[in-house]
Chains A and B, each alone.
Chain A
């Protein structure tokens, strides 16, 4: 069944206060699914119009930023008669917890969808803290 509570309209991306984008093009927040599995976390983002060469993934400290540049492929010589959606870039950032193994993050783009695999760090998988009684 279709989930009717979903936001169908593209939402403009929130850019940090006090900063501006250098391009006039608008940036939108891609819709994402974040699925946590036993050994990894899978992040899937809808970014129609991007391919493997136009996506930038940045990891600084614990902030993961995804940016997608969309080159408009508009039909030439045509006039726009109806516009229900806007074309633009994509921008979204996430704060990662310590449990992600930053070195082993994998990314792939297919059919306008970015898929990130964030493996969980071994330490998290088997970290047990022993509590010793004070002598």
Chain B
């Protein structure tokens, strides 16, 4: 009888140990196998507020002309982010729907000054980046008004001397003027035609054209140069063909002192 009791007790103890061992093992099995990967754990501990934004890339010109409207664009993408733009000394003409691109209009800025374009990013978690300030140099620029390049101009010809020429508007072509005293030696009624670009490049083109010189010899002239819309000056380099020879000529035009 006593032996039976001992055996029963042993069984009970055995069962308890066994059941606990099995439960422990299975718990450890599951716990150990249910762990997460390094990336999963990292992601679990990560929140939208942890994204630390910096506006690290903006594309757009750092030098602009007065009156220009230029686009500035964020050079990267970040899901859920939006960007805020502001400018000092110019105005935001428009912002794209995704806020990544801003159009800046520089008309009102005085010439040869700097505009400060400021942009910041706000992430999907509401975190705002530090402001990124872009310094934009504004170059003077006056819209071409062709009448400013008509009338008497002093022409300083390299290796010769300064003499006066009279520019008048071409009756047909826009932004084109006619010089009636080229080389200070035109044949009767002879003019040289200059075309001004009218854009920020402010270039002058003298298309190749026949020219009768003061001695009646027919040659040709061709050239290019630049002009300044604000100062009404013009610098042109020519190739001139006269009497079987080519000549290089440089002219600097400025309004004649009245």
Chains A and B bind each other: no
